[in-house]
Amino acid sequence: GQQVMQIPQYQHVQEGEDFTTYCNSSTTLSNIQWYKQRPGGHPVFLIQLVKSGEVKKQKRLTFQFGEAKKNSSLHITATQTTDVGTYFCAGPVGYDKIIFGKGTRLHILP
Amino acid sequence: GAVVSQHPSWVICKSGTSVKIECRSLDFQATTMFWYRQFPKQSLMLMATSNEGSKATYEQGVEKDKFLINHASLTLSTLTVTSAHPEDSSFYICSARRTGTPNTGELFFGEGSRLTVL
């Protein structure tokens, strides 16, 4: 079946360093979403990308949707301790389901 | 913003008993809600899709008779873990999508319910 794969599974970075997580789908996606889950919390929607090659920015976060609409990335510039958490990408399946990647857990070293 | 409330936040029960978890969309209507299970430090495993006024659609490997889902109104879905066993201990999270938004629209998540079965 359709899969959404995400790498890396874990990432430890020094505060101030950049961070990137990558998402790949086995099929072309109509759109891709990104969510953040803080430790002990619930996922919170960050953004949705729809267009091929789309790039969107939210302050230090840059989201990109591949030209083939099968991959996406989230890049954080100059990480801060508030960036700690797990970042999930998610893509639609069938009529109304959304499947999630396994997530990338970001840990910031002070 | 849209708020989804999930109750209880945590529950401890004895093996063999049933536990009901509620998921409410507080300021919007949700024709479709989703139930997930999340093990520590792992991803969200979709259990079922809950549709208002109809039977839930369960993912492969999820026991329908064990995880009863009811979506009686546009703002409430419930998950009942029947005859709970220690292996059912987990973090259960619901999400909802606003009625009328595209079927690929943003999901709003509840705070989650941590179930511990003794």
Give how far the C-alpha of residue A54 lies from the chain's centroid of Cα atoms, to the nearest Å. 14
Closest-CA residue of A relative to B111 is A42
Contact between chains at B109 and A42 (C-beta distance less than 8 A): yes
Across residues B79-89, what is the average pLDDT? Answer: 96
- Annotate B81-113 with b (16+ C-beta within 10 A) or e (fewer): beebeeebbbbbbbbbbbeeeeebbbbbbbbbb
Across residues B35-50, what is the average pLDDT? Answer: 90
**Nearest CB neighbour to B43, from listed A48, A96, A102:** A102
Angle at B61 between CA B32 and CA A69, to 5 degrees: 60
The pLDDT score that the predictor gives to residue B109 is 96
- d(CA A44, CA B99) in angstroms, rounded, equals 19
Contact between chains at A101 and B112 (C-beta distance less than 8 A): no
- d(CA A23, CA A75) in angstroms, rounded, equals 12
pLDDT for A93 beyond 70: yes
Across residues B42-52, what is the average pLDDT? Answer: 90
pLDDT for B45 beyond 70: yes
- d(CA A99, CA A19) in angstroms, rounded, equals 23
Helices (H), chain B: none
**For residue A33, which of A86, A79, A92 has the smallest C-alpha distance?**
A92
